[in-house]
Amino acid sequence: MPQLAISVSDLSKKYDSGFAVSHTNFQVPAGTICGFVGPNGAGKTTTIRMLLGLISPSGGTGRILGEPITSPEKYLSQVGAMIEGPAFYPALSGAENLKVLATLGGFPLERVDQLLAQVGLADRGKSKYKTYSLGMKQRLGIAAALLPNPKLLILDEPTNGLDPEGIQEIRQLLRSLADGGTTVFVSSHLLSELEIISEYLVMLRKGEVVFAGAMQDLFDAQQPFMLVKTEKLSDLEKIISLAEGAGHKAHIRDGVAHIEGPAEWAGVLNKLAFEAGILLTQLSPQLPNLEETFFEMTGDQK
């Protein structure tokens, strides 16, 4: 049994409106990057807030770094978190902001320059926070979360609003942290990004866990599929009927037909379409990926 950074059992949060999080069970092995996904309102933020002791569960149990979530004082000194966007003083520089937090938290001030370098802000540490780009603000937020030199880093949407370059920088940062032994639990709507960086995944739907485990196990349980486009949009429905008639699950999303089946079956589908007088403009076999799997398992948009 690997050492667990997070482990929850039957964890629930109930509001008057119903369960925001309902009887969830999942485990995150130490030293891994674990993606945390679910459609809007699935319960991600509520779960994170329970893990950080910010709200108390209505039921169930949880352990962070071996300590119960009912005693957050026992583990919070070893947990760094960035949730709902970092809050900093606009008129202070990045370095000054971190120094304020270091002083408040009793962390060594020497860590400030080290952390600025680690998140790629060494050159801009002296610039006022209000001059920072969104990506720089996010990176400063991560630097603040790293002040306690945490064993577990919990990030809620760290790449929100970032451009591809900023996203790549965060990816490299998270990878290097995990390589150094930090466990990273990260929620994001950027599924393709999470697919690249995460070894583990927890997927929520309507407050319930629909998958928790190794990313590879998730894909191993999925069928390959193909993406199909037709010259005329109206022909897509006919393609769906042809595929379903041949025993293949199929649906249309964003003007593209997604049809389950191995790559070898693509030729058969092409022939069926041709015989029905339908011209295919795209027929591309795909391996299971997180975007497709997410859609299949949550039946929802991101």
- Residues at the site binding ligand ATP, with contacts judged by CB under 6 A: 15, 17, 20, 38, 40-46
Closest to ligand ATP by CB, 189 vs 251, is: 189
Closest to ligand ATP by CB, 41 vs 161, is: 41
Q: How far is the CB of 87 from ligand ATP (least distance, A)?
A: 17
Closest to ligand ATP by CB, 41 vs 262, is: 41
Backbone angles phi, psi at 188, to 5 degrees: -160, 150
Q: How far is the CB of 42 from ligand ATP (least distance, A)?
A: 4
Q: Are the C-beta atoms of residues 190 and 284 closer than 8 Å to each other?
A: no
Closest to ligand ATP by CB, 43 vs 62, is: 43
Q: How far is the CB of 203 from ligand ATP (least distance, A)?
A: 11
Q: Are the C-beta atoms of residues 80 and 65 closer than 8 Å to each other?
A: no
State the burial class of residue 81 (Cβ atoms within 10 Å of its Cβ: 0-12, 13-18, 19+).
buried
Q: How far is the CB of 266 from ligand ATP (least distance, A)?
A: 35
Q: How far is the CB of 86 from ligand ATP (least distance, A)?
A: 16
Closest to ligand ATP by CB, 40 vs 234, is: 40
- 174 three-state secondary structure: helix
Q: Which residue's CB comes closest to ligand ATP? A: 20
